[in-house]
């Protein structure tokens, strides 16, 4: 049975979000980040389809929190609505072990 416990927590998603943003030049829309997370994490359609509420999936909810936590910790910035980019700290982060929240 597929359940949300099989998805990484929001804080564990910070590194995959950094990886997703490193593939971009400049600010990136949240929907693009979410699509890249599916690839990076190898999420099955069953996991991607787990609902959080009526408007989004659980992995999208957790990635939104990952962006919020990462912004507060200095890894991300959002220069415009629905746009996210790496800060210098985010660009210099080379592994999940370097992340501190």
Crossing angle (nearest 10°) for helices 14-22 and 30-41: 110
* Percentage of the chain lying above the pLDDT 70 cut: 99
Task: Give the Cα separation of 87 and 78 in Å (integer).
Answer: 10
**Domains of the chain and any CATH numbers:** 9-94 (1.10.10.10)
Q: Nearest 10 degrees: CA dihedral of 22, 23, 29, 35?
A: -120
Distances (CA, A) of 66 to 1, 18, 20: 25, 10, 12
Question: pLDDT in tens for each of the 101 residues of the chain?
Answer: 677 788 889 999 999 999 999 998 889 999 999 999 999 999 999 999 999 988 999 999 999 999 999 999 999 999 999 999 999 999 999 999 999 88
Cite the DSSP H helix spans in the chain.
Answer: 14-22, 30-41, 45-48, 58-72, 88-92
């Amino acid at each position: 049975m597929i359940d949300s416990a099989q998805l990484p927590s929001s804080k564990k998603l910070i590194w995959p979000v950094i990886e997703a943003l490193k593939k971009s030049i400049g600010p990136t829309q949240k929907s693009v980040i979410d699509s890249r997370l599916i690839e990076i994490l190898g999420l099955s359609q069953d996991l991607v389809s787990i609902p959080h509420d009526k408007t989004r999936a659980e992995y999208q909810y957790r990635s939104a929190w990952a962006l919020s936590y990462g912004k507060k910790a200095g890894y991300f910035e959002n220069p415009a609505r629905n746009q996210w980019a790496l800060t210098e700290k985010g660009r210099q982060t080379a592994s999940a072990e370097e992340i501190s929240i």
